[in-house]
Each structure stands twice: as structure tokens, then as C-alpha cells.
């Protein structure tokens, strides 16, 4: 067994040093009724070649995004990740280290986190950011809990444009903690509708821009309304590349900005692991969930970095912690940070511009196909389109012709009565020929 | 003879300066000082070549970002150097033994990384048609089968993203089950003082009150105290097994019986499942729910603090309340039930997060399982336990085991009574280990042992590496007892940095680089 | 000066009690890095949570040793939490409380009793 260095002779010698006869003597505390004399009923160990064969066979049964025209978004986006990113994150010192609890021998991880926090704060236009959370959806749920702690109020109002899976994650956490939630009906362009639902019990308003239908909204007015009522504004973004083109949550008055960071540095990975970006105003920092890295000096006065303000966290505060989180998404945050520092502001703005340009081309092409109606008025790189008939069935049909067209809204929210609404996205990876192939296919399918 | 005598010297000169030699730049041999990316004047640079984009559409007028964002760029060589230099300031399991008790730093097979990067796993979208991801769903189904078989439990919720997220999932299932049975009044969770901090944090998060269970002299749950505290108000107990003292809860079957008799559920913190995998099935012990940290037992990389994955195995009683998505299999293949309340998931308590969980971690964990097989996993547990007991046996004469009698499981726990009178604390001792090239063990946890040192060598270590580690600790212990406190008080001396001022960091939080130069921080 | 078993101290002037944590508590906590003091106007009952004090390694609640209305929180502690370590029983006070029930003070320990209590810990 290639991962186990002990030889039978080693084992025998070590048992002798310990002073027992067999390995079973070390498991004597296990109740007799639960002891197993033989391995469980699963296959025996396998060599690398065999494992690789089996895994490859499973992988082949999936249609990967790179195999043909691909237009899926809805919270997970296909972007090009520079080769450098994947090379660096596979370095032993990053891949196989633990949470940086011993800062003297973890400055690599800690400095990356400090740089990551600065990048995220800049992108979101906020004052401080943490060292990442599991993903955007759990980050949104944590943001609601944080607003509950800051305002000591127990109601969260969510717009109809918040990604339904995010709504689900928020509801799970909020309801567990006794926080009431009110969600506006799913709507393509009505983030402002939350204003009417704000009352004296409202802890926070959750809006999304670009929202799940792709609609971009200036949420300044919503921020003003929330603040006037003593509530916080949480702005959710699922496509972090959009920060390169659009006004940031901070510029629009957000108190907490939450985003899915997958788009930068991280692949689709069938939905995870991703990386949650979480930023807020400085005055709320002690109510933030998750890890924070801060600057300090060592005994010789040299600059260094440590995990800080950890009294908020579970290992110290236990049942009074701000959150039960004890993991961040370290390696995904590293990938994000490397990609971001390769892009720089110059590259990010270009990348965002290209994404928007490709989406405009896709819109123009789809608008020209009879029977298709563009529903999203203002968008970054994705939008909703009304298709003739059932969107889920259409997507299946197109998949059988080699195109992954988009995400039917009904897949996210079956109860909204939007069975003919499809969410489509384009990124810098989208080719003009992909769009041409798609429209030709649609014309053919509709024509049948 | 012809003679070439102009070559370089090939022997070191006699040293004229044995120590304390300061370099002129602050760099030390292979170890470079490295600036922040914000200090490299990269404001107009980019390391990514992209075509120019057309101006944005007029639809977005008034919505565009006009102010500078404040993000530097690096060319590719600068980026590679920056991160490689930073990487060299990290300890890693690939460098040396990393004995963090309770954290389980074991080897991360590179095959798993390779498999996770197959486009059929890494380049598939979570919401593309399910007919196009049958292999991914099948992998999830097989992973679930292995987890259920290894734990002897009938169901598993794969989606939780880390151990603590799994705890939350388990407690929410328990809460839903109680509510469905009209037992919503049960609001107390019992947990031992030695529990991971996440246990009380999670219980409090879902609105439960935490009551501590006493511990016996030999480091186990006090059955009498448990029995006295159980009652109609108790929703669940949360017990780690093997526990955080590295001991198997001998009375675990009785703990389960008492808990069930009182109408409560048994949540087992499965952080230490790696000690018993393949040898003991938690289902045989009466457990109702248990999370499994895939990064501990099944070796997905820790990555400097994540990502993790925390699937939760569930008993028959709790399975109906598992969160969506649910994976189902019929004649048409595999499919996901994605909404709570939908046919097939009527009683699900909701959704833990977007999409379907940590697929990238599932792939790595499954490759690890296939590589080891049932026999290999059993050997993993046995070697982990053997290594810990070997460390304990070889250090017990110079350090003080917290529980000297009987075997430990996968980790050996020492207290600091052996350091009494030396002037050296647990922290000092740990920092001196850094100078010797080892990562310190877990310190000051569990809270029930004074100055705790929790050593978990894992099955990854060869006997030679264990002996090297043991000799280092014995030498350090000798130095401490011989009055060489200086070696400890100022340690580390040989790490990239000396001891850091955590008080300063917390009193004057600087959580980001700022464009306007700030006065340098100074130690107080 | 009077003391509680939770290591708070009280000094009464007129009908206002000044409240802080004892030198023993400050030393046990280690370097104090953050203090959250109550705002004026808050009404507390004896034993309620009054303030939060954090060191690098611990976060603790400070309980109100007496009942009453908070008339002032020590705002200086937010910028200089180290005062709690430097001057725990003077400049590092947490809050001034207008006494609702002066008899509560009499029931607290005097210094001798507190020192004797510390000896039992």
C-alpha cells in the first residue's frame, strides 16, 4: 500500500516498544459488540493505474463545458484561468499546510490572505474584508446573521432577484436562529420592490446585482431607504468579474457586500469548492464571521501577519461565537488572489468589458431568432430570455445536439411560473462560432 | 605535469563568525523578504493578454464604475516569483511531520489532484442538464455508498461544506425530527467540556442551550452526570468519539442507550473517524448523526485552511429530514431532487448552500478510498493508532501523558506538569519545536487538560521519521529540564519570523493594505 | 471598594457607582485588546451583562455588580484598552451606574473577603 510507510517489521517492533502483543490490544476500549474482525464489504486496495481508469471512466460520462457551445451561468461561470494559477496552488507549501495557527512558519499563507482581503475590499468598494467563507450562498446567509447581531432585529427582506439557492441557504440559517424572512416574488427587474417591505423590525435588506436574471440595478435608493429605517443593506453578487465594469456595492451604500468569487481563479467543479467573498464597513468588523488576517510585527520589529480578532470565533467564544465557522476556503482564495494579481485593474477591466461584449453579441443573435424574447433590460454577461415552450425541455433537446444552452429558471425555482424563462450567459470563452451554431440550431428546432 | 590552479576553492573557509550574522538586505540565503503585491508598482501592469473590448452598451449608463479600483497587476514572472517566495515561508506536511492533534495532517496523494482536474469533473456546470453529468452523479452515489458502508449508517447528506457545516446540518435534521414528532420543546444540547468549540457554537446558533457534561478522571464522559442531565428538555447530545483527549469512549453504547431512552438523539462529532475507519462502524455504536471531515479521514488537502467538506451520515430516524439536494437512482439513471418539499424530498429541512456540495473534494476523497480499499482503510486506522501509541510510549518518561493508563487512539495527549519549575511553558516548548524543523502539536486544547499538548502523527509517518521527531522532543525536554530556558523563551530563532505580537494586531487592527502610507507598527 | 465573585469592583460616590474589573481579573485575561462599554441610558439589573472585555485569547462578559441606569461608559477604553491592564482598579473603569438599590452594594465582599475568596481559587 503505497501511502503507508510502516513495514510489518516496523509494526512488530513498535508494538514491542509499546508493550502490547497485537494491534487489537490498542483497540480494547471498543465495545465487543462493535468490534469487526474483518474489513467491511468494499473493494480491496488498488494501484494508481486502476484508480485512474475507474475515475476516468466516470469523468467520461460527463459532458464538459469545453466540449462545445456553452452558455450556462446562474451563479457559476466558465472563465479562462491562467496556467500559473493552477501551478502555484499545487505547490506543497500552499496545498498541504493547515490553517496558519503558527504564524512564524505560515507567513506565506498569511500574507496571501492579507493581500486577498485588500483585493476583495477594493473590488467591493468596502472598508474591510475577511479571509473568505465557504461560498457566496453561505456568505449571504452569514451576512443576514451578522445584520441580526448588529441591529438586534429579527427580520430579513429579500428581493425577488436574489438567486433562489441563496434564498434557500439564507432561510435555513435564519430560520434556525429565529430570524424571519420575507422574499419578494421572483421578478426580473424589481429590486426596488423591497423598499415597500422595510419596517421597524427589519434587520437587513438583501438585494442582488447583477441579479439572478442578470439585471443590473443601482441600489443607492434601496440603501437610503434601509438606512432611514435603521436596517443594513446587503448586496449580493454572483459574478465577481462584474466588479470590473459596474459600480461597486460600496459606492452604492452597501453595509455588507457578499459575492461568489468562483469566477476568478476557480473552475466550475460542478458547484464546489468555491470561495465566498465577504466585506463590510469597518465599524461592524467585530461582528464579522470567519477568519481575519491582520498586520503586526515580530519580536525583531519586522512586519508580519497573524490571524486576529479571533475572540469572535468558535474556538474561543464557543457558544457565544459570531458563527460556528472554522474553515475558510483557503486554497480557492489563493487561486482567486493569484488570478486577480495577474489581471490587475487593467486586465480585470478588459476582461469585464469582453464579457459584456460577448453577452451583447449573444443577445443580438437570440433577439433575431423568431419566438425568442430578451427579458433583461440591463445586464453584464447574462440575461433571461423567453423561449417558445418549456425551457427545461428545450435545454435537454439542445444538449442532445451538442450545445449546453443555459439554465432554465424553473430548475432554480419551480414555483415561480416561469417555465419558459431561460438564463443564458456569455464570457470571454464564448466564441462567435458558438453563437452562430446556437442560433442555427434554435432556428432548426423551432422550425420543427 | 600540466597544472590548472586557477579554480575556485572547494572547501569551506574556517568560519570567523559563528552566529548572529546579519545580512545587508534582510534576505537570508534561499529565504527572501517579499513585498506586498501593492508595493510592486504594478498599477498599470497586467499578466493576462486579452483583446480590447468595445465600449459598454448605453443600457449601463450611470451604472459603470468610474473611480479607480486600486488593484495592482503583475507580469507572469513577477507573479510566479512572488508566490513561490511566499510559499517558502510555510510549513507543510510535504516538508515534515505536522502533528496537529485533532486536525489530522496526513499525506495528500497527488493522484487525487490529477483526478480532480479531469475536465469531466472540473469543467462541468452544476446546473447543466442532469443527463449530461451522469458520471458526476454516479461518483457522488459511490462516495455515498462508501461512506454509508464504512459508518454502518443508512443515509448520508453530502452537501455540507466543512465539519462545522456538517454539525449544523446534523443538528437541523435533529431539530426537524423533534418538531415533526411534536417535541419542539426540546431545546438543550449536552456536550462534554472537552468538545471542539464548534459543537457549542453550532448548538447555540440553532437556538439550543448548551449544558456541559462532566468528564471522568480517565478522560471519558461521566455516565452518572449524563444520566442526571438527560431529560424531556434534551434534544441531543454531542459527543466526539474517539474523543478530543484521543481516547475511545468505552461506554459509548451505554451513552447511546441512555440518550435514546430519554428521547434525545446522539450526534457524534466525527472529526476523529480516521482513528477507527474500517475497524469500527459508528452505526454499531448507536449514533444518529455524524459528520465526516473528508479532509481528515479521506485526505483532501487542507490548503492553508480549506476548502473542506463535511458529509453527514444519518440514521433511519433522521434521514427523511436531510437537506436537498437528494440523489436518486432509477431506471433512467441518476437524478437530483433539488427543492425541499418536492416529490422525493417532502420532509427535507431545506438547503445548506447553493448547488450540490464540494464536488472537487468528493473526487479526491473517492480516489483516496479506491486507492486504499476496505483493507487499506483499516490499515490506515491501525497505523495511525500504532504511531500515536508509539510516540506516547517513547515520550512518557520525559513528558507527562495526561492519561497514562491504557492505550490512546490516534493522538497522544500530554499535560504540562512535566514542565513545572523549568520556566518553560507549553507555548515556549512548541515554538522551540519550530526551530528543530517540526510543526508544533495542538496546544491548550482540549481545555480539560492544563497546558495540553495533543500529538497526532497520523499513519503517514515512517518509523524513521517518528524516531527523528521523538529524539527531537526528547532533546528539547532534556534542555528544558536542564535549565536552558533561553532556547525556549525567545524561540523560534530559525523561522522566517520571530514570535509575532498578537496583542498589537488585535489592539490596532490593520486588515488591509492602504494606499496612503501608514506609520510602521511598533511593538509596545 | 466592594467586590463580586465574578471579579468586578464597585466604588460608590453619592448615588453613583463606578464599576470595573479587578487587578486579578485583568491579569488572568492577559493583554486586553478590546472593550465594549455600555451606553448611557441603559438600564441593568444586578447580574446582567454590562460590558464585554476581550484579550487575544479570551472574550468575557462583565456583569453588572449593581442594578441601576448607566450614566456613563468609559469611552477612552475603546482607543486605549490597555488601560484595563495598566490601571484596572482606577482609570480602567468600565461604567458609572446610578444606583437603583444601594443595599446591593452592602451585600458585596470587602477587600479582605475578596482576597480570601481569591485564595480559594
* pLDDT, tens digit, 9 for 90 and up, residues B240-259: 999 999 999 999 999 999 99
Instruction: Tell me phi and psi for residue A430, to 5 degrees.
Output: -75, 130
Which pLDDT does position A217 carry in this prediction? 98
Is A234 within 8 Å of A207 (Cβ atoms)?
A: yes
Counting beta carbons within 10 angstroms of the beta carbon of residue B225, is it exposed (0 to 12), middle (13 to 18) or buried (19 or more)? middle
φ, ψ of residue A359 in degrees (nearest 5): -70, -35
Contact list, C31 vs chain B (CB under 8 Å): 503, 507
Residue A331 in grid coordinates: 486554497
pLDDT confidence of A326, banded at 50, 70, 90? low
Q: Which helix (H) or strand (E) holds A8?
A: helix A8-18
A317 to C59: CB separation less than 8 angstroms, yes or no:
yes
8-state DSSP, B524? -
For residue B164, list chain A residues with Cβ-Cβ distance below 8 A.
314, 324-327
What is the pLDDT averaged over residues A271-279? 97
pLDDT mean over B165-175: 96
Q: Tell me what pLDDT residue B516 has.
A: 77
B507 CA to chain C: closest CA distance, Å?
5
Interface predicted TM-score (ipTM) over 0.85: yes
* Among A176, A174, A146, residue whose Cα is nearest residue A158: A174
- Cβ distance C81 to B507 less than 8 Å, yes or no, reads yes
Least confident of A406-420, B4-18, B204-218: B4-18
What is d(CA A279, CA A259) in angstroms, rounded to the nearest whole number? 9
Looking from the CA of B19 toward its CB, the CA atoms found within 13 Å total 2
Residue B524 and residue C82: Cβ atoms within 8 Å?
A: yes
Average pLDDT, chain A: 95
Residue B279 burial by Cβ neighbours in a 10 Å radius (0-12, 13-18, 19+): buried
Rounded Cα distance, A178 and B207, in Å: 7
Greatest CA separation for chain C = 37
Which residues have C-beta within 8 Å of that of residue B377, sequence separation ≥ 6? A39, B150, B277, B278, B369
Q: Which subunits have 3 or more CB–CB pairs within 8 Å of chain B?
A: A, C
For residue A377, the tally of other CB atoms under 10 A from its CB is 14
For residue C61, being part of any structural domain is answered with: yes
pLDDT grade for A279, boundaries at 50, 70 and 90: very high
Dihedral pair phi/psi, residue B414, rounded to 5°: -120, 150
Q: Which domain holds residue C15?
A: 2-102
- Sign (positive/negative) of CA torsion B412, B415, B417, B419? positive
| CB < 8 Å to A44, chain B | 373-376
Determine the 3-state secondary structure of C62 from DSSP: strand
Q: How much is the pTM?
A: 0.95
Residues of C in contact with B506 (CB under 8 A): 33-34, 54, 56
Give dist(CA A324, CA A318) in Å, integer. Answer: 8
Mean pLDDT of chain C: 91
The C-alpha cell that represents B105 in the structure block: 495532517
The enclosing H or E element of B166 equals helix B163-180
Average pLDDT over residues C13-40: 91
Half-sphere exposure of A115 (CA within 13 A, CB side): 32
A45:B305 CB<8 A: no
Question: Is C59 within 8 Å of A286 when comparing Cβ atoms?
Answer: no
Higher-confidence residue of A85 and C54: namely A85
Q: A311 to chain C: which residues are within 8 Å by CB?
A: 33-34, 54-59
Grouping H, G, I as helix, E, B as strand and the rest as coil, residue A140 is helix
Residue C41's CATH number: 2.40.50.100
For residue A328, name the pLDDT band (cuts at 50, 70, 90). Answer: confident
- Strands B400-401 vs C32-36: parallel, antiparallel or unpaired: unpaired
Question: Is residue A249 over pLDDT 90?
Answer: yes
| Optimal mutation site among C59, C60, C81, interface A, most CBs of chain A within 10 A | C59
What average pLDDT does the segment A217-246 reach? Answer: 98
Q: Using CA coordinates, name the residue in chain C closest to B504.
A: C33
Q: How far apart are CA A217 and CA A380, in angstroms?
A: 11
Helices (H) and strands (E) counted in chain C, each on its own, are 5, 9
Q: Count the domains in chain C.
A: 1
Mean pLDDT, rounded, for C11-18:
94
Query: Does position B395 have pLDDT exceeding 90, yes or no?
Result: yes
Q: Establish if C66 belongs to a structural domain.
A: yes
Using the beta-carbon criterion (under 8 Å), do C58 and A311 form an inter-chain contact? yes
Given a contact cutoff of 8 angstroms between Cβ atoms, the answer to whether B422 and B483 are in contact is: yes
pLDDT band per the 50, 70, 90 thresholds, residue B448:
confident
Closest CA to A73 of A188, A238, A241: A238
- Determine the pLDDT at residue B348: 95
Chain A CB within 8 Å of residue B193 CB: no
> Looking at the complex, does the CB of residue A286 fall below 8 Å from at least one CB of chain C?
yes
Instruction: Compute CA distances C37 → A148, A318, A319, B508, whole Å.
Output: 20, 22, 21, 18
State percent of chain A over pLDDT 90: 92
- Tell me the CA distances in angstroms from A340 to A139, B5, B48, B444, one per residue in order: 20, 54, 10, 38
Which of B278, B233, B232, B276 lies closest to B252, judged by CA? B276
pLDDT at A323 over 90: no
CB contact under 8 A, C54 and B524: no
- Round to whole Å and give the CA distance between C116 and B451: 26
Dist CA B308 CA A325 (whole Å): 11
Within the 115-144 window of chain B, which residues sit less than 8 Å (CB to CB) from chain A?
A: 115-129, 131-136, 138-139
| B157-180 mean pLDDT | 96
pLDDT given for residue C28 in this prediction: 87
Q: Taking Cα atoms as reference points, which of B403, B414, B389, B395 lies closest to residue A13?
A: B389
With contact defined as beta carbons under 8 Å apart, do A208 and A162 qualify?
Answer: yes
Residue-wise pLDDT tens digits, B174-216: 999 999 999 999 999 999 988 888 898 899 888 899 999 999 9
Residues 6+ apart with CB under 8 A from B83: A88, A91, A94, A112, A338
Cell triple for A265: 481563479
Q: Which residues of chain A make contact with C56, given a CB cutoff of 8 A?
A: 310-311
Contact criterion met (CB < 8 Å) for A316 and C55:
no
Inter-chain contacts counted by CB atoms under 8 A, chains B and C = 14
pLDDT > 80? residue C58? no
Q: Rounded mean pLDDT of C73-85?
A: 91
**Which chain A residue has the Cα nearest residue C55?**
A311
pLDDT for residue A51 is more than 70: yes
| Interchain pair A36, B430: CB under 8 A | no
Report yes or no on C109 lying in a domain: no
Q: Is the dihedral of CA B55, B58, B59, B64 positive or negative?
A: positive
- Nearest residue of chain A to residue B94 (CA atoms): A92
Least confident span in A34-48, A87-101, B19-33: B19-33
Give me the residues paired with residue A58 across strands. none
Q: How far apart are CA A271 and CA A283, in angstroms?
A: 33
B311 reaches A (C-beta below 8 A): no
pLDDT in tens, B433-447: 999 999 999 999 888
Looking at beta carbons, which residues of chain B come within 8 Å of A343? Answer: 46-48, 71, 73
Kindly indicate the confidence band of residue B29, based on its pLDDT and cuts at 50, 70 and 90. Answer: confident
Question: Strands B289-291 and B265-269, how do they pair?
Answer: parallel
Contact B506 C82 (CB under 8 A): no
Interface of C with A (CB under 8 A): 33-34, 36, 54-59
- Looking at residue B24, what is its pLDDT? 86
The whole-angstrom distance between A301's CA and the closest CA on chain B is: 7
Q: Is A46 on the interface with C (CB under 8 A)?
A: no
Q: What is the CA radius of gyration of chain C?
A: 13
Q: Do β-strands B234-240 and B209-213 pair in parallel, antiparallel, or remain unpaired?
A: unpaired
Which subunits have 3 or more CB–CB pairs within 8 Å of chain A? Answer: B, C
Decide if A315 touches C, using CB distance below 8 A: no
| A421 and A375 Cβ atoms separated by less than 8 Å | yes
Mean pLDDT throughout A32-41?
A: 89
pLDDT at position A319: 64
Domains of chain B: 113-368 (3.40.640.10), 382-496 (3.90.1150.10)
Please give the grid coordinates belonging to residue C81: 484598552
Least confident of A321-330, A416-425, B260-269, C79-88: A321-330
Give the sign of the dihedral formed by CA A330, CA A335, CA A341, CA A346. Answer: negative
Query: What is the set of domains in chain A, with CATH numbers?
Result: 8-57 (no CATH), 65-80+344-447 (3.90.1150.10), 83-339 (3.40.640.10)
Question: C14 in a domain, yes or no?
Answer: yes
Amino acid at each position: 500500500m503505497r501511502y503507508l510507510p510502516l513495514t510489518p517489521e516496523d509494526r512488530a517492533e513498535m508494538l514491542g516498544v509499546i508493550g502490547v502483543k497485537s494491534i487489537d490490544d490498542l483497540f480494547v476500549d471498543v465495545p465487543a459488540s462493535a468490534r469487526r474482525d474483518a474489513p467491511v464489504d468494499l473493494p480491496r486496495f488498488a494501484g494508481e493505474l486502476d484508480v485512474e481508469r475507474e475515475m476516468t471512466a466516470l469523468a467520461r460520462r460527463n459532458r464538459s463545458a469545453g466540449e462545445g457551445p456553452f452558455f450556462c451561468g446562474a451563479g457559476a461561470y466558465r472563465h479562462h484561468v491562467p496556467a500559473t494559477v493552477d501551478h502555484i496552488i499545487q505547490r506543497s507549501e500552499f496545498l498541504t499546510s493547515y490553517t496558519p495557527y503558527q504564524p512564524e512558519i505560515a507567513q506565506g499563507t498569511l500574507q496571501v490572505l492579507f493581500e486577498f482581503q485588500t483585493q476583495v475590499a477594493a473590488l467591493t468598494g468596502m472598508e474591510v474584508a475577511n479571509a473568505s467563507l465557504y461560498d457566496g450562498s453561505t456568505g449571504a446567509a452569514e451576512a443576514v446573521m451578522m445584520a441580526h447581531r448588529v441591529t438586534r432585529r429579527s427580520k430579513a427582506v429579500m428581493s425577488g432577484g436574489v438567486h433562489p439557492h441563496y434564498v434557500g441557504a439564507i432561510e435555513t440559517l435564519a430560520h434556525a436562529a429565529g430570524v424571519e424572512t420575507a422574499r419578494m416574488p421572483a421578478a426580473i427587474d424589481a429590486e426596488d420592490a423591497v423598499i415597500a417591505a422595510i419596517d421597524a423590525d427589519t434587520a437587513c435588506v438583501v438585494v442582488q446585482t447583477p441579479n439572478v436574471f442578470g439585471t443590473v440595478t443601482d441600489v443607492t435608493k434601496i440603501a437610503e431607504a434601509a438606512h432611514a429605517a435603521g436596517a443594513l443593506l446587503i448586496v449580493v453578487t454572483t459574478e465577481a468579474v462584474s466588479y470590473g465594469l459596474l459600480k461597486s456595492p460600496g459606492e452604492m451604500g452597501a453595509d455588507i457586500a457578499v459575492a461568489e468569487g468562483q469566477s476568478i481563479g476557480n473552475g466550475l467543479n460542478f458547484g464546489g469548492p468555491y470561495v465566498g467573498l465577504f466585506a463590510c464597513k469597518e465599524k461592524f468588523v467585530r461582528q464579522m464571521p470567519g477568519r481575519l488576517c491582520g498586520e503586526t510585527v515580530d519580536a525583531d520589529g519586522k512586519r508580519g501577519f497573524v490571524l486576529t480578532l479571533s475572540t469572535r470565533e468558535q474556538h474561543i467564544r464557543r457558544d457565544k461565537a459570531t458563527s460556528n465557522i472554522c474553515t475558510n476556503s483557503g486554497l480557492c482564495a489563493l487561486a482567486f488572489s493569484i488570478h486577480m494579481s495577474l489581471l490587475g485593474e487593467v486586465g480585470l477591466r478588459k476582461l469585464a468589458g469582453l464579457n459584456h461584449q460577448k453577452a451583447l453579441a449573444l443577445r443580438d443573435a437570440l433577439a433575431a431568432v423568431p419566438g425568442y424574447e430578451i427579458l433583461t433590460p440591463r445586464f453584464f454577461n447574462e440575461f433571461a430570455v423567453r423561449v417558445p415552450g418549456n425551457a427545461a425541455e428545450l435545454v435537454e433537446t439542445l444538449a442532445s445536439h451538442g450545445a449546453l444552452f443555459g439554465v432554465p429558471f424553473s430548475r432554480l425555482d419551480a414555483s415561480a411560473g416561469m417555465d419558459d424563462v431561460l438564463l443564458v450567459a456569455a464570457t470571454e470563452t464564448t466564441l462567435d462560432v458558438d453563437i452562430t451554431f446556437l442560433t442555427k440550431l434554435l432556428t432548426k428546432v423551432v422550425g420543427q | 605535469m600540466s597544472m590548472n590552479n586557477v579554480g575556485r576553492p572547494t572547501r569551506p573557509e574556517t568560519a570567523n563568525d559563528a552566529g548572529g550574522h546579519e545580512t545587508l538586505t534582510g534576505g537570508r540565503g534561499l529565504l527572501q523578504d517579499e513585498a506586498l503585491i501593492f508595493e510592486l508598482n504594478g498599477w498599470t501592469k497586467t499578466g493576462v493578454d486579452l483583446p480590447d473590448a468595445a465600449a459598454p452598451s448605453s443600457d449601463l449608463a450611470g451604472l459603470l464604475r468610474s473611480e479607480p479600483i486600486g488593484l495592482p497587476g503583475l507580469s507572469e514572472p513577477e507573479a510566479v516569483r512572488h508566490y513561490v517566495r511566499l510559499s517558502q515561508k510555510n510549513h507543510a506536511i510535504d516538508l515534515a511531520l505536522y502533528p496537529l492533534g485533532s486536525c489530522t495532517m496526513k499525506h495528500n496523494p497527488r493522484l487525487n489532484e490529477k483526478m480532480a482536474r479531469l475536465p469531466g469533473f472540473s469543467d462541468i456546470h452544476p446546473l447543466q442538464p442532469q443527463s449530461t453529468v451522469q458520471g458526476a452523479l454516479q461518483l457522488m452515489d459511490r462516495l455515498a455508498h462508501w461512506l454509508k458502508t464504512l459508518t454502518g449508517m443508512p443515509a448520508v447528506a453530502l452537501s455540507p461544506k466543512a465539519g462545522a457545516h456538517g454539525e449544523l446540518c446534523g443538528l437541523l435534521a435533529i431539530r426537524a425530527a423533534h418538531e415533526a414528532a411534536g417535541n419542539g420543546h426540546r431545546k438543550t444540547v449536552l456536550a462534554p467540556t472537552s468538545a471542539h468549540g464548534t459543537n457549542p457554537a453550532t448548538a447555540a446558533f440553532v437556538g439550543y442551550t448548551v449544558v456541559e457534561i462532566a468528564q471522568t478522571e480517565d478522560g471519558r464522559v461521566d455516565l452518572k452526570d449524563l444520566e442526571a442531565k438527560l431529560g424531556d428538555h434534551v434534544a441531543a447530545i454531542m459527543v466526539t468519539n474517539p474523543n478530543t483527549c484521543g481516547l475511545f469512549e468505552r461506554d459509548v453504547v451505554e451513552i447511546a442507550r441512555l440518550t435514546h431512552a430519554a428521547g434525545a438523539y446522539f450526534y457524534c462529532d466525527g472529526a476523529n473517524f480516521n482513528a477507527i475507519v474500517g475497524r469500527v462502524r459508528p452505526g454499531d455504536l448507536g449514533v444518529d448523526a455524524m459528520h465526516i471531515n473528508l479532509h481528515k479521514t479521506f485526505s483532501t488537502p487542507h490548503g492553508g485552511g480549506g476548502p473542506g467538506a463535511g458529509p453527514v451520515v444519518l440514521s433511519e430516524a433522521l434521514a427523511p429530514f436531510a437537506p436537498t439536494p437528494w440523489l436518486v437512482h432509477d431506471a433512467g439513471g441518476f437524478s437530483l431532487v433539488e427543492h425541499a418539499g418536492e416529490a422525493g424530498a417532502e420532509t427535507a429541512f431545506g438547503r445548506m448552500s447553493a448547488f450540490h456540495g464540494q464536488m472537487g473534494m468528493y473526487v479526491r476523497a473517492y480516489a483516496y478510498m479506491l486507492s486504499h480499499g476496505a483493507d487499506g482503510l483499516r490499515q490506515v486506522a491501525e497505523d495511525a493508532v500504532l504511531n500515536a501509541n508509539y510516540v506516547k510510549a517513547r515520550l512518557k518518561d520525559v513528558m507527562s501523558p495526561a492519561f497514562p493508563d491504557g492505550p490512546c487512539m490516534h493522538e497522544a495527549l500530554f499535560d504540562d506538569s512535566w514542565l513545572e519549575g523549568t520556566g518553560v511553558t507549553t507555548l515556549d516548548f512548541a515554538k522551540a519545536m519550530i526551530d528543530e524543523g517540526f510543526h508544533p502539536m495542538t496546544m491548550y486544547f482540549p481545555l480539560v487538560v492544563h497546558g495540553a499538548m495533543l500529538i497526532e502523527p497520523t499513519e503517514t509517518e515512517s518509523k524513521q521519521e517518528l524516531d527523528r521527531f521523538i529524539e527531537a522532543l526528547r532533546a528539547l525536554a532534556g534542555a528544558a529540564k536542564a535549565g536552558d530556558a533561553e532556547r525556549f523563551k525567545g524561540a523560534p530563532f530559525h523561522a522566517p519570523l520571530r514570535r509575532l505580537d498578537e496583542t498589537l494586531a488585535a489592539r490596532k487592527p490593520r486588515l488591509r493594505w492602504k494606499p496612503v502610507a501608514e506609520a510602521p507598527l511598533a511593538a509596545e | 471598594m466592594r467586590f463580586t465573585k465574578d471579579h468586578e469592583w464597585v466604588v460608590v460616590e453619592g448615588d453613583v457607582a463606578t464599576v470595573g474589573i479587578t487587578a486579578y481579573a485583568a491579569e488572568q485575561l492577559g493583554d486586553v485588546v478590546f472593550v465594549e462599554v455600555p451606553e448611557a441610558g441603559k438600564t441593568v439589573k444586578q447580574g446582567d451583562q454590562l460590558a464585554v472585555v476581550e484579550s487575544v485569547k479570551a472574550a468575557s462578559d462583565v456583569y453588572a455588580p449593581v442594578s441601576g441606569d448607566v450614566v456613563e461608559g468609559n469611552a477612552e477604553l475603546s482607543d486605549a484598552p490597555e488601560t484595563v491592564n495598566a490601571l484596572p482598579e482606577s482609570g480602567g473603569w468600565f461604567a458609572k451606574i446610578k444606583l437603583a438599590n444601594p443595599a446591593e452594594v452592602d451585600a458585596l465582599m470587602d477587600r479582605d473577603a475578596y482576597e480570601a475568596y481569591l485564595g480559594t481559587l
